[in-house]
Amino acid sequence: MKEIHVGFLGCGNIGCGVWNLLRDAEERFEQTHGVRFAVRKILVRDVKKERAAQIPREVLTTEAGEVLHDPDIGLVVEFMGGEEPAAHYMMEALRQGKSVVTANKMALSLHWEELMREAKNHHAAIYYEASVCGAIPIISTLNDSLQANRIERMYGIVNGTTNYILSSMSQSGVSYADALKEAQRLGFAEPDPTSDVEGYDAAYKLSILASLAFRCHIPVGSVYREGITRVEASDIAFGQEMGYTLKLLALAKQSAEGIQVRVHPTFIPRLHPLASVSGSFNSVFLSGDACDDMMLYGRGAGSAPTSSAVVSDMLAAARFDSPVYPAVDADRANTAILDNWESAFYIRLSAADRPGVLAHVAACLGERGVSIRYMVQRSETPSARVPIVLITHKAMEKDVRAALDAIAPENALVDNVIRVEE
């Protein structure tokens, strides 16, 4: 029997969820894994706060040092969330030679290299399955199952809030503002939804996933990021007519030219396996040279699913004597992260309802080599401006941007541009 002495940093919903799972599975883990977890200290802000777990008072502390500098604690589990002080606490734990388990995508992605360096320097392990997509075992799949693969592309629905909002908009045709309000009411969106709806949360997660998939560090800052706040019900409706479903995708690709990492609303074919991932579910689709297409789907958030992933990491930490760090290909150090890429584009314009306007728009696109695959113009009620929707063939992002900039505003205004993946 191995007894592992554990310290928690923070004890909100997920911390309490883990406390309860450990208590329920205590005997089983002793029997099946030969491991017993003894939680010795839990750092909290307020020891008197009501919690969703029966935690003895003497375990709680408001002093981080009681967790970080207790030589008796071998495993630190971080539940604080946010960048600081979580990142510095984790680094201190690693420096003390303690293993760290974290569900904190923000601290992990923003301090990836420092955390990995401290871990290696002090021969300590760091586990982070719960930091991306909750219970879905995407981190272990990338680290421990696909080592023989070159991952060519990866598409993730990694943020449940935005997927919930876009699913509502798609199913009932409501506006973004109404869908957000409903998501907030049901607890699927925060009172301040910025991190989710502007794609920051997805960018943190993509930075982690792409760093593992491509075996080189992909900083959060190099992820192109666009949120869902400009999506209108009409965009979703136009897309549906053309056979597309709108998702906030976290997308990573590599090719001879370099690496693309981007988070933005994306039209995907209605029959793509990701199109049916609705509500607050998460999913990652990837394609490797040996494994071919693969998809993982499940709960990306919530106390129980996240706790499930944290406990699997704790068991891994208990099992392995010698830590393994994310593989890094030395020859990837200089791989370019691209700021221009090929994509098809959905473009919605408000055009002046007079002759010559379409010719002007088509000429602006044509001059930059952007060709049109599909166009629909709808003017059911006479008005000065009519909506035109275009889908382009594949073109370079910067050419499309330049073409749209060249459209004279008196002819047409660009209302929205959404990338399309086939």
The reply to whether 136 sits near a copy of itself by the rule CB under 8 A is: yes
The reply to whether 289 sits near a copy of itself by the rule CB under 8 A is: yes
What is the distance between the alpha carbons of residues 387 and 384, in angstroms, rounded to a whole number?
Answer: 10
What CA–CA distances, in Å, run from 12 to 76, 125, 339, 351, 401?
Answer: 15, 24, 39, 52, 45
Q: Which of 146, 417 has the CB closer to a copy of itself?
A: 146
Reduced to 3 states (helix: H, G, I; strand: E, B; else coil), residue 302 is coil
Reduced to 3 states (helix: H, G, I; strand: E, B; else coil), residue 356 is coil
The reply to whether 25 sits near a copy of itself by the rule CB under 8 A is: yes
In contact, 76 and 9? CB cutoff 8 Å: yes
Q: Which of 276, 264, 329, 294 lies closest to 153 in space, CA to CA?
A: 294
The reply to whether 312 sits near a copy of itself by the rule CB under 8 A is: yes
The reply to whether 259 sits near a copy of itself by the rule CB under 8 A is: no
Burial class (CB in 10 A: 0-12, 13-18, 19+), 178: middle
Q: Which of 379, 391, 384, 312 lies closest to 344 in space, CA to CA?
A: 391
Give the shortest CB-72-to-a copy of itself separation in angstroms.
Answer: 24
Q: Which of residues 142-181 bind a copy of itself (CB under 8 A)?
A: 144-149
The reply to whether 21 sits near a copy of itself by the rule CB under 8 A is: yes
Location of structure tokens 């943190």: 204
Q: Quick one: which of 3, 32, 356, 405 contacts a copy of itself (CB under 8 A)?
A: 32
Encoded one letter per residue, x for contact with a copy of itself by CB under 8 A and - for no contact, window 261-280 reads ----------x-x--x----
The reply to whether 29 sits near a copy of itself by the rule CB under 8 A is: yes
Active-site positions read 205
Candidate segments 243-251, 325-333, 346-354, 389-397, binder of a copy of itself by CB under 8 A = 325-333
What is the distance between the alpha carbons of residues 315 and 89, in angstroms, rounded to a whole number?
Answer: 21
Q: Which of 241, 289 has the CB closer to a copy of itself?
A: 289
The reply to whether 413 sits near a copy of itself by the rule CB under 8 A is: no
What is the distance between the alpha carbons of residues 252 and 138, in angstroms, rounded to a whole number?
Answer: 14
Q: Which of 4, 358 has the CB closer to a copy of itself?
A: 4
Which chain residues interact with a copy of itself by CB under 8 A?
A: 17, 21, 25, 28-29, 31-33, 129, 134-137, 140-141, 144-149, 215, 271, 273, 276, 281, 288-299, 302, 304-305, 307-309, 311-312, 315-316, 319-322, 324, 327-330
